[in-house]
Structure 1
Amino acid sequence: MSQKNYSLAAAAPISKATNPYPVDTSVGPMLRYQKSLPRLPVPALSETLEKYLKSVKPLVNEEEFAKTVAAVTEFQKPGGIGEELQRRLLEKANNPNVINWLEEWWNELAYFGYRDPVCVYVSYFFAYKDDKIRKDPAARAASVITAALEFRKLVVEEQLEPEYARNLPLCMDSYKMMFNACRYPKKPTDFELTFDPATNNHMTVIRKNKFFIVDLVKDGTQLSTSEIESQIKKVYELAGNAKDPPIGAFTTENRDNWTNYRNLLLSASPENEKLLKKIESSVFAVCLDDTTPVTRDELSHACWVGDGRNRFFDKSLQFIIFENGKAGFCGEHSSMDGTPTCRLNDFICTSIANNKVNHGSPNVRSGLPVPEQLRFTLNKDILDAIAKAENNFDALVAKHDLRVLSYQGYGKNGIKKLRFSPDAYVQMIIQLAYYKMHGVSKATYESAQTRKFAHGRTEVCRSCSADSAAWVKAMEDPHVPIETKAKLGHKAITSHVKYMAEAVEGRGCDRHLLGLRMSLKPNEEPPLIFTDTTYAKSTHWNLSTSQLSSEYFDGYGWGEVVPDGYGIAYQINANVLHFNVVSMHLNNEHMCHYLKEAADEMKQVFEYAQAKEGHVPAKL
């Protein structure tokens, strides 16, 4: 199951005095540190097993924990299977031909080999705040496209400044999968292709389920915003009011089904493959929806899944424009995590809001080519398959519920006044809310980026700890003094900060345990540590969480990863906390209520504690 990425690193310049990496002058600034990035480490076996035992303690009873201790003890016996698997993993990690020991396994298990639909289980979305100047959908679309093309130019020419974390550059390799990229369905495992940006300067525009190709360059010059707007208006006109059979619905299907349906399309006419390639090779897709979402819930749901028809979910980037001028984005997650696309979308929204976009001439050149409608050859088998895909999508989405909580009580600024890490603090809001609602603490996944390493993606920060479990119980016990609640809360947040710091260094326990498990040979029996019920319980993510934030987003989210769990994406903005809650109808409205209640109560407890200490914070 796919997991999501974590907060965007500040892109602050590195000074030569603090930068430990040599600069590669043969490439552009974006990739100048790429060859110098360290490799993802393999933690010491004893360190990982100690961390694992500590993390599972709050999730199991004493009898289960004793069995797990015995399984871990057996696993790490001198000369035993644990040491052998560690040796094999180290051998792979030290292979000079392997850039990242985890990369191939993770991409296969979490993404390309994963057969459930990418929508709702893999794709993610950002919903934009309104553009008060551009309420007309064609104008909104044109400005978003122009800003996106400015970012693309920085990427293609390798002029984009790398991202940094603690003054160290992050891996920028995944940016190559941002533009002109597409995922392909194939059995038993999918793959992704990119296309030459120099020769593919067209975008796909989808309206009324119809696909149009719009060239973004004429006579060697990129279209201005006014010219793009005129082309978008032509698409609206050409699409008319009638809807075509939604070929895009195929991309919502189980990946094996989509593989079969794609073969149907190809066999119906050789022209169909050429038409598909035009979509697949395009810079990105722009979806001109005919709906008018108003509330945050409606807008988020529309960006996340829409109607499943006016889309092509295999495209790496889809910008979505609604009839009332609202807008958002949907990302394909397989080869690229959320931090690069968060940066892209924040760049788009920030540049437009601050009038930093070069819109070009307001004049529209004569002779712009008419947008080309792709007319697929469809037969009865294909039409029947489309109908099945539509029914499957509708049934799948009906099983899900999405709710948004925009908590206005305080945000990052208020949390900092309480002297806490904003991310760790919000993770404890989620822990407390879940305990309030369910009366138990469960395994929680927070995605930690490991992009400080070459081809790094993510590690798990296990947010549910012994300290967080003790604290939420105290918070719900009216007999526990408020000073004790504050003290336990501080300990829980500190514990989370420590785990996250280790996770971003590649020293969480989950990816290492996965590497050890994958190092088993096909004929070898899995050791007890991996068949123990505790291992399954500790990786059954009842809470799957992550943060990506922008002051210009009004929504961010994705789906749950287990049927009895929640996907909680959140933004920590200056004065607002934004939660997107998705589950299979597990009373999301109640979860939103408890998230608000938890945030209110935590503020009261920690403000009181600060006042007792003589450090009264400014009013939040």
Structure 2
Amino acid sequence: MPPTPKTPVDSTAAGPMLRYQKNLPKLPVPPLSDTLRKYLKSVHPLLTEEEYKRTEQAVKEFEAPGGLGQELQKRLVARAKDPSVVNWMEEWWNDQAYMGYRDPVVIYVSYFFAYKDDKFRKLPAQRAAAITTAALEFKKQVVDNTLEPEYAKGEPLCMDSYKYMFNNCRIAKKPSDEAAIFDPHQNTHIIAIRKNKFYFVDTVYNGKQLSTKELEQQFQRVIDQAGGLKGIPVGVLTSENRDVWTDVRQALLKANPRNKQVIDKIETASFVVCLDDSSPKYRDDLCRACWHGDGRNRYFDKPVQFIVFDNGKAGFIGEHSCMDGTATCRLNEYVCDGLNRNLIKHGSEQIRGNIPHPEELSFVLNKDLEHAIQAAETHFDDLIARHEMTVLAYQSFGKNLIKKFRSSPDGFVQMAIQLAYYKCFGVSRPTYESAQTRKFQRGRTETARTVTDESVAFVKAMEDPTLPNEKKIALLRAALKAQGQYMASAVNAHGVDRHLFGLKNCLKSGEPVPAIFRDPAYAYSSHWYLSTSQLTSEHFDGYGWGQVVNDGFGCAYMIKNNALQFNIASVKDLEVHGKKYVRGTYQFKQCLEEACDDLRDLLMTELPAQAKL
């Protein structure tokens, strides 16, 4: 049974999924003095004494009575109170963090989940069909607004972003992309991609949804129709720089009227199923194949793409601009858990006759478009060649033991990441952890700044063999407390980063940029050498994304009951502050393993003997 929240129910809501939506609180604007105090505290462990004094002075000037900081705060508060504005940050954030972002979505924006094997579905058409049936069941709950809302500590979370899950597409435009939502009742088809060729597969025939057996037939038909020869990979264009793709998309639409019909069918589809002809065998290979594949057998602008490989392995890639990973994690958990526990209704075993074959959607191309596709292939291959990704599947312990250590599992892993980075580089650097703010209307994320004076003292102590365990444990407890306090503030929208982002956006044209935003500490403290986030499912064998800065790491992690898993991505030949680290991704992976071992060994010393069993 769902919890009974304090949030009032809206009796006029379209369905149970949205019954709390209108009554969720609006995103607050924190007091200026609180944010500036937290900001100073967060930059202190990252700066020299001289740098900190300069930052302190810039903050004092910004906060001074009658100063620009006070004026910007008034403007932001007024914006937040405007009845026509649902969320004061939404428009700015969506544009500047996502839609206006011009680098390719693959690597820099998209993220993936890699599934564990399905022992009962080894054939690609078989597994694709089961996944599709489960996803359509989830879609029906979203479209009908019957999906139960999500909760955090008994209170409902915003469900608005679910409208971007199905029948949605990111549309390349200048200077900023757009999100397009299409009628889910009118568009009951999906798109299958095989050998770089697009196929239209309607999931409804004669008013009735195709059963899993019927879908399996359709996917097998796609595989058979596609044959052995690969088509010209038009999909690789979606891996391009967004301005380049905008221009090519327009040229594609103008080249022949048929191209618009094809693009319309792709963009309006419920979702995409990529039937890859590769067979990744090992975990690292599977994660890379889900993260980007060969770039050809994809349409990266779709927010939901399931990937099924020739050996029956499977996964998911999501486009991040309108939806954060918590929503699609729930979709994927529903699919995997439902299939694993046989909760999905697969329909009749009998296949109806005369179901139309999948329709191949063929683009009409000219020489200019073919050259653009070739250029996109080259750009994609160069981009992928510059990146590394590896997975640490740590099997020594997981959430169950961490709780015996009287520690927050998330905080514990964050300290393991900090210790690993210190082992690798001998210093602590700015770290981002995603904190969701979905308890507010159209809330998305806030930054939880993990590096604190306490975390720095802890990692230094851990690398000092002369210090007793009792001292190290005390410093770990202090670091965990600081991390937990900041995370609690962040999920309540009282972090540093989004508030400062809002204040900066309140500057009017021609106004001087305050010293706080020109101070090198402002840019440095949000240069995320470590970009981290947790989403967990016992059914996933991988989850991750790329690094957000080229001298840093993307570090996604899962905290399972009896295991930890880290997905680490970075550029090859990582260069940090002038020093090159060949295979830096793998060095960091080893340091993570050592850090987890060290923390386990440390805390086992204070665990009662009976709890170690």
TM-score tier after normalising by the smaller chain length: over 0.9
The letter for the 2-side match of 1:492 is A
The letter for the 2-side match of 1:382 is L
Partner of 1:225: 212
1:101-153 Cα deviation digits (max 9, x unpaired): 00000000110000000001000000000000001111010000000001001
Aligned: 1:287 with 2:274: yes
Give the whole-Å Cα distance in 2 for the aligned partners of 1:26 and 1:431: 44
Candidates 182, 193, 200, aligned match of 1:195: 182
Aligned: 1:618 with 2:607: no
Aligned: 1:544 with 2:531: yes
Give the whole-Å Cα distance in 2 for the aligned partners of 1:310 and 1:279: 13
User: Is residue 178–residue 336 contact of structure 1 (8 Å, CA) maintained in 2?
Assistant: yes
- Give the match's secondary structure for 1:152: helix
1:539 Cα offset (Å): 0.6
Aligned: 1:603 with 2:607: no
1:523-577 Cα deviation digits (max 9, x unpaired): 1111000000101110100000000000000000000000100000000011110
- Matches of residues 295-314 of structure 1 in structure 2 within 5 Å? 295-314=282-301
Give the whole-Å Cα distance in 2 for the aligned partners of 1:617 and 1:112: 54
Give the whole-Å Cα distance in 1 for the aligned partners of 2:198 and 2:331: 24
Give the whole-Å Cα distance in 2 for the aligned partners of 1:22 and 1:304: 39
1:217-263 Cα deviation digits (max 9, x unpaired): 01110000000000000000100000111000000000000001101
Candidates 556, 561, 567, aligned match of 1:569: 556
- Matches of residues 478-557 of structure 1 in structure 2 within 5 Å? 478-557=465-544
Give the whole-Å Cα distance in 1 for the aligned partners of 2:140 and 2:170: 22
Give the whole-Å Cα distance in 2 for the aligned partners of 1:503 and 1:582: 25
1:148-201 Cα deviation digits (max 9, x unpaired): 001001101000000000110000000000000000000100001011011100
Aligned: 1:336 with 2:329: no
Give the whole-Å Cα distance in 2 for the aligned partners of 1:64 and 1:616: 48
1:27 Cα offset (Å): 1.6
1:23 Cα offset (Å): 3.0
Aligned: 1:588 with 2:585: yes
Give structure 1 regions of 4+ aligned residues with deviation exceeding 4 angstroms: none
- Give the match's secondary structure for 1:131: coil
Aligned: 1:182 with 2:169: yes
User: Is residue 418–residue 617 contact of structure 1 (8 Å, CA) maintained in 2?
Assistant: no
Give the whole-Å Cα distance in 2 for the aligned partners of 1:289 and 1:430: 34
Give the whole-Å Cα distance in 2 for the aligned partners of 1:617 and 1:343: 36
User: Is residue 467–residue 492 contact of structure 1 (8 Å, CA) maintained in 2?
Assistant: yes
Candidates 150, 156, 160, aligned match of 2:143: 156
Candidates 322, 327, 347, aligned match of 2:334: 347
1:20 Cα offset (Å): 3.2
- Give the match's secondary structure for 2:596: helix
1:501 Cα offset (Å): 0.5
Q: Identify the range of structure 1 (23-32 vs 211-220) with the bigger mean alpha-carbon deviation.
A: 23-32
1:18-71 Cα deviation digits (max 9, x unpaired): 433233344210000000000000000000000000000111100000000000
Partner of 1:3: none
Candidates 70, 85, 92, aligned match of 1:105: 92
1:619 Cα offset (Å): 2.4
- Give the match's secondary structure for 2:595: helix
Aligned: 1:253 with 2:236: no
Identity across the alignment (%): 57
User: Is residue 412–residue 575 contact of structure 1 (8 Å, CA) maintained in 2?
Assistant: yes
Partner of 2:3: 14
- Give the match's secondary structure for 2:611: coil
Q: TM-score, normalised by structure 1?
A: 0.96
The letter for the 1-side match of 2:596 is A
- Give the match's secondary structure for 1:618: helix
Partner of 2:404: 417
- Give the match's secondary structure for 1:89: helix
User: Is residue 24–residue 33 contact of structure 1 (8 Å, CA) maintained in 2?
Assistant: no
Partner of 2:52: 65
Partner of 2:581: none
The letter for the 2-side match of 1:187 is K
Give the whole-Å Cα distance in 2 for the aligned partners of 1:239 and 1:320: 16
- Matches of residues 236-251 of structure 1 in structure 2 within 5 Å? 236-251=223-238
Give the whole-Å Cα distance in 2 for the aligned partners of 1:542 and 1:127: 25
**Gaps spanning 5+ residues in structure 2: where?**
575-583
- Give the match's secondary structure for 2:114: strand
Q: TM-score, normalised by structure 2?
A: 0.98
1:522 Cα offset (Å): 1.4
Give the whole-Å Cα distance in 2 for the aligned partners of 1:23 and 1:562: 43
1:267 Cα offset (Å): 1.6
- Give the match's secondary structure for 2:372: helix
1:298 Cα offset (Å): 0.2
1:481 Cα offset (Å): 1.2
Give the whole-Å Cα distance in 2 for the aligned partners of 1:596 and 1:340: 30
Give the whole-Å Cα distance in 2 for the aligned partners of 1:512 and 1:98: 16
Give the whole-Å Cα distance in 2 for the aligned partners of 1:245 and 1:562: 32
1:14 Cα offset (Å): 2.0
Give the whole-Å Cα distance in 2 for the aligned partners of 1:522 and 1:109: 17
Give the whole-Å Cα distance in 2 for the aligned partners of 1:237 and 1:573: 39
**Gaps spanning 5+ residues in structure 1: where?**
1-11
Give the whole-Å Cα distance in 2 for the aligned partners of 1:505 and 1:604: 34
1:617 Cα offset (Å): 6.0
